[in-house]
A and B are shown apart, each in its own frame.
Chain A
Amino acid sequence: MGKNFFMKKKFKIAIASGKGGVGKSMLSSSLAILFSKKYKVVAVDADVDAPNLAIWLNEISRWDKIEKFSVSSKPVFDYKKCNGCGKCVDVCQFNALKMVSGKPHLDSFTCEGCGACENVCPRNAIKLKPVNGAKIKIKDTKYGFSLISGELIPGETGSGKIISKIKGIAEGYDYEIMIIDSSPGTGCPVIASLQGVDFVILITEPTPSAFSDLKRVLKVVNYFKLPWGLIINKKDINNALGNRINKWAKGNVLGSISYDQNIFKAIADFQPILETDLIAKQEIKTIFNNLLLKI
């Protein structure tokens, strides 16, 4: 134990949970701050359709850099060339095309931008055009590390590609530890977040929903054969289930955090947990120390 992190020059940790709202960003922000006291850190907010890491770090005032970029393309039709053969409609696996009075029409919200229609059109009447579907925001935080945050523009697709892109940008930084705060769920953004990381921190709470979602996301973690650790947040809201989860996770538990309504107040005052006197602060520090032993 321990040799992975200390032998590797660059170490990547992703934080995932399955269920939303169980504490991913709170934990990610706290761990980034704790690591930054000893190591060179870069933080990545990969919850691109609900990015909140900046708020948790109280770094909302101004970004150093905001850049729009394209993660997907959408077909544009030249109706003069189109003879209405309908091949593009047949070939679309996402049902994003419909014939309307003899010509194909696009439902851009359903379109994946894959280019199957362009590919199949016998008259070259379809061309894919890139769409600016994403924003990348970068900031040097007051903690001395950089935060790279991706944001999917609502209504656009391609969250996985944004994540690959911002992880690529983060890779260019001089870092020893990269913290990747992923989104809820198990689909494309989570897969993109977990790809290529060295360790996954899973966080859950003792409710049947969160436990069920935890098992789902663990399947993805296991698919990538990644080592993981577990944190049980709000453990005291249901100690019995909390203990059951503890047992289920065998030796992988890194620690737990107590439920505290004051955390809500701290959030509303933009106060990072580590700058409060809440019990959670000490609990997170314990988790951090356990984590160092584990990686």
Chain B
Amino acid sequence: MGKEKIQKIAITGGKGGTGKSTFSVLLANKLVKLGHKVALVDVDVECPNDYLLLNQKLKKKIGFTYAKFPKIDKRKCRKCGLCVKSCKSNAIFQAPGQYPIFLPELCSGCGVCWLTCPYGAIKPREVKTGEIFINQVNNNLWLITGLAKAGLEETGPVVAQVKKIVLNFAEKMNIDMILFDTAAGTHCPVIQALINVDFAYAVTEPTPMGAYDLGLLLELSQKLKIRTKVILNKANLGNKKFIEKIVNKYKVKIASAIPYDKNLAKAYSNGQLLDLDYDFRINGEKFFYEKKV
């Protein structure tokens, strides 16, 4: 191959609203200015916002995500109830003597019911679970947005499928940096976003809530063996000691502190973040991207 490995960076953090998307956009911009070809991938598929911060519209699609959901053939069903017992998501309901009812809002699409049915009365039916959009923001920056169908229960597989398509795209386009902007929390869509990345930035804020959720996130990233550094956003508000305690406990570093800044907030609101050139470095601490990994 002889090609340089594509760097995959996740931007995550635990608590919601700490500035993951803002930081993702600023970082993408910085990397482009440093000469990289960058794909910013919004894998907060339940509530993607990067396109709004970049003043883009979700129009052009480069793919879909799919899952299989059960469909019942009433002619074959004998109302035995085995499917109801097999379902670990409690997504199948059956009143006595009636046909089973499938509750899509609880269904994960795992397939146990159609594997279980002794009469072949349940068949998988492929359903679109999400869309993948692309925007070329400038010569060296692409935005790829995963958007799950509203009300979809299981969004982890949507993230996994978006990542796969992005990797193909990045190889085709000679992109050397991929940024994954994740959802809040530590549940399935976040786990899927973090799997196989080279390192992660955890964006947090100096409040006890930010610190608590950061702790949970760092526990996850350590289990997944992902090197992680902390970005302290709104650094001049609240109290830094909450974050320092967590950072010491998990032996990670604060890579950068970003003060709350009215101009930044304004640019955020108006979709003009790309006009800002932020220097994130503090204490001479190097960013991951500045080292050859």
Residues of A within 8 A of B212 (CB): 50-52, 55
Which of A56, A73, A107, A109 is most buried by chain B, counting CB atoms within 10 A of its CB? A109
> Is A220 interfacial (CB-CB < 8 Å)?
yes
Residues of chain A with a CB closer than 8 A to B92's CB:
none
Indicate which residue in B52, B213, B265 contacts A52 across the interface (CB closer than 8 Å): B213
Closest-CB distance, B146 to chain A (whole angstroms): 12
Q: A114-B88, A120-B115, A268-B239 are in contact. Are A208 and B150 (CB under 8 A)?
A: no
Which of chain A's residues have a CB closer than 8 A to the CB of B53? 209
Q: Which of A50, A184, A208, A264 has most chain B Cβ within 10 Å?
A: A50
> Which A residue's beta carbon lies closest to that of B240?
A268
Q: Return chain A residues, CB-CB under 8 Å to B106.
A: 160, 191
A60 at the interface (CB under 8 A from B): yes
Interface string of B192-230 (1 = CB under 8 A from A): 100100000000001111001100110110011000000
- Could you mark each residue 45-65 of chain B with 1 if its beta carbon is under 8 Å from any beta carbon of chain A, else 0? 011010011000000000000
- Cα A164 to Cα B110 with chains together (Å): 20
Indicate if the CB atoms of B46 and A50 lie closer than 8 Å.
no
Residue of B nearest to A263 (CB): B237
Q: Is B184 an interface residue (CB 8 A)?
A: yes
Asked whether A95 is an interface residue with its Cβ less than 8 Å from the other chain, the reply is yes
Decide if A185 touches B110 in the complex (CB within 8 Å).
Answer: no
Number of A-B contacts (CB under 8 A): 220
**CA A195 to CA B224, docked complex, whole Å:** 32
Partner of B109, one of A93, A186, A195, A216: A93
Query: A154 contacts B108, CB within 8 Å?
Result: no
Q: Tell me if B150 and A184 are in contact (CB < 8 A).
A: no
Q: How many Å from the CB of B36 to the closest CB on chain A?
A: 25
A207 at the interface (CB under 8 A from B): yes
CB–CB B154/A188 < 8 A: yes
CA–CA, A73 to B110, complex, Å?
Answer: 14
Residue among A49, A112, A208 making CB contact with B216, cutoff 8 Å: A49
* B interface secondary structure, majority: loop
Q: For chain B, give the interface size range.
A: 35 or more
Contacts of A212 in B (CB 8 A): 47, 49, 52
Point out the residues of chain B lying under 8 angstroms from A22, CB to CB.
16-17
* Interface 0/1 of B21-37, CB less than 8 Å to A: 10000000000000000
- Look across to chain A and name the residue whose beta carbon is closest to the beta carbon of B21: A209
A261 at the interface (CB under 8 A from B): yes
**Is B52 within 8 A of A268, CB to CB?**
no
Bound: A157/B237 CA distance, A = 34
Known: A155-B224, A160-B153, A264-B234. A114 touches B47 (CB 8 A): no
- Which chain A residues lie closer than 8 Å to B189 at the CB level? 185, 187
With contacts A49-B186, A264-B207 known, is A155 near B219, CB below 8 A?
yes
Contact A19 B155 (CB under 8 A): no
User: Is there an interface contact between B47 and A110, defined as CB atoms closer than 8 Å?
Assistant: no
Given contacts A154-B217, A159-B185, A189-B185, 7 further A-B contacts (CB under 8 A): A20-B18, A52-B213, A93-B110, A110-B195, A115-B88, A155-B224, A186-B152
Instruction: Check if A267 sits within 8 Å of B216, measured CB to CB.
Output: no
Chain A residues numbered 35-51 whose CB sits less than 8 Å from any CB in chain B? 47-51
Q: Does A173 contact B (CB under 8 A)?
A: no
Min CB gap A287→B, angstroms = 20
Contacts of A157 in B (CB 8 A): 156, 187-188, 191
Please give, as numbers and ranges, the residues of chain B lying within 8 Å of A249 by CB-CB distance: none
Q: Which residues of B contact A152 (CB under 8 A)?
A: 186-187
| A51 CA to B154 CA, complexed, in Å | 20
- Give me 11 A-to-B residue pairs in the complex whose CB atoms sit less than 8 angstroms apart, sorted by A's number: A18-B47, A19-B49, A50-B216, A94-B157, A109-B191, A114-B110, A116-B112, A187-B148, A189-B187, A191-B106, A237-B265
A91 sits at the interface (CB 8 A)? yes
Q: How would residues 256 to 278 of chain A score, 1 for a CB under 8 Å from any chain B CB and 0 otherwise?
A: 00000100110110100000000
- Chain B residues with Cβ below 8 Å from A289 are none
The answer to whether A216 touches B150, judged by C-beta atoms less than 8 angstroms apart, is yes
B238 interface hit (Cβ, 8 Å): yes
B99 on the A face (CB < 8 A): no
A223 at the interface (CB under 8 A from B): yes
